Amino acid sequence: MIENHIENTVKELFENLRFEEEPRGLYDPLRYMMEIGGKRIRPRLCLLAYSLYKKEFNEEILNPAAAIEVFHSFTLIHDDIMDKADVRRGVPTVHKKWNDNTAILSGDVMSIESYRLLAKAPAAVLPEALKLFSKTAAQVCEGQQYDMDFENLESVPMEDYLKMIGLKTAVLIACAAKMGALIGGADEKECDLLYQFGYDLGLAFQIADDWLDTYSDPKVFGKATGGDILNNKKSWLLTRTFEKIGDRRPELLEAMAMPIDTDEQKAAKIEKVIGIYNSLGVGEEAKEEIIRLHSQALAHISVLDIEPEAAASLENYAKKLIGRTK
C-alpha cells in the first residue's frame, strides 16, 4: 500500500538527513528538533500528492518534502519562544534545553536549510516551487504576527481567527500538497485542487489542535494541555465562546483574569474556563466544525482526475489527520 511505502520513505528520509557539524552550539539544537520527530504530516502529504502522478520516490521530491518539514520545525522553535512553551512533543523545547538566543539562531539556520533543500527540486519546476514556498513562508510569518496581535485584544471575530490560522497553519499544509503535485507533473487545475484540499484540511487540523489543547490527555497530545487557557490564547474555543457568551461576558473575563502563579491556581483557571466552554457546548461545536471542514476538503478530491485507489489514499490521510479528536 502507498501509505506504508510513504511511512517507510519518510522515516528513512529523516533518519538520513544531515546538517553541518560545527559549531555544535548552532547545529545540535537543530538536530535535536528534527530527531524528536512529530507527525511529519507535511512531508507525508507532499509525497502522497506526488504519488498521484509518479510512482517512484527519488531526490526530486524527497528534498522538497524535507524542506517543508525543516521549515515547519523552524517555525515551531520560534513559536515556542514566543509562547513561552516548556514542552514540545513530550520533551523540553529548544529554548528551555538551551536558551532563547541559541533557539533563535538555530531556528534561523533551519529556515536557510529549508531553502537549500528546496533548491534541489527539478530545474523545470524550480522557479514555480520557489515562488510557492516563498509566498507560503511569508504567509506563515504573517499568521504568527496576527496571532501575537490578538494577544493584546480582549476578543477577535471568528473571521479574523480563521484568517490567522489559515495563514499560520493551513497554507503550509496546502503548500505540501501542491508542491508534491507540481513536482509530480500535475497540471495547474490539479495543483490548485490539491492546494484547496490541503488548506481546508489545515483549518480542520488547527481547530482540532485547539480542541486537543483543552480536552486531550497530555500523554497522548505530546505536550501539556490547558496552555491556551492559561495564556488566554485566541483559540477557536475561546473565539466561539465570546460569540455565544452574552450577558455572562463578565464571568468569562473574570475567569481569564484568574492568577496562574502556582500549579493549584493554574488548575483552577483551566477548570473554570472549561466549565464555561462546556456550559455553552463549544467543545462539541468545534468537533462539528472539524467534520464540516473535513467534508469540504474531500469535495476537492472528488473532481481530481485520479484513480479511485489514489483518491482513497487521500481520504485515508485526511481521516487519520483529524481523527485525533474522537
Q: Quickly list DSSP for 30-55.
A: HHHHHHT----HHHHHHHHHHHTT-S
Residues 6 or more apart in contact with residue 86 via CB below 8 angstroms: 92, 93, 96, 224
Give which of 145, 148, 144, 122 is closest to 75, Cα–Cα. 144
Per-residue pLDDT, 85: 83
Per-residue pLDDT, 94: 95
Per-residue pLDDT, 89: 83
How many alpha carbons lie under 13 Å from residue 302 in its C-beta half-sphere? 6
Spell out, as residue ranges, where the chain has pLDDT lower than 70. Answer: 218-224, 324-326
Grid cell in block for residue 161: 481567527
Per-residue pLDDT, 83: 81
Provide the whole-model pTM: 0.94
Question: Collapsing DSSP states into helix, strand and coil, what is residue 91?
Answer: strand
User: What's the rounded Cα separation, in Å, for the pair 237 and 235?
Assistant: 5
A 10 A CB-CB count for 16 gives 9
Per-residue pLDDT, 219: 63
143 touches 165 (CB < 8 A): yes
pLDDT in tens, 290-315: 999 999 999 999 999 999 999 999 99
User: What's the rounded Cα separation, in Å, for the pair 129 and 144?
Assistant: 23
37 touches 116 (CB < 8 A): no
Per-residue pLDDT, 221: 58
CA 19 to chain centre: 23
CA 249 to chain centre: 31
Q: Which amino acid is at 234?
A: K
Give which of 134, 113, 121 is closest to 183, Cα–Cα. 121
How many alpha carbons lie under 13 Å from residue 64 in its C-beta half-sphere? 34
Domains of the chain by range and CATH? 2-325 (1.10.600.10)
Per-residue pLDDT, 86: 87
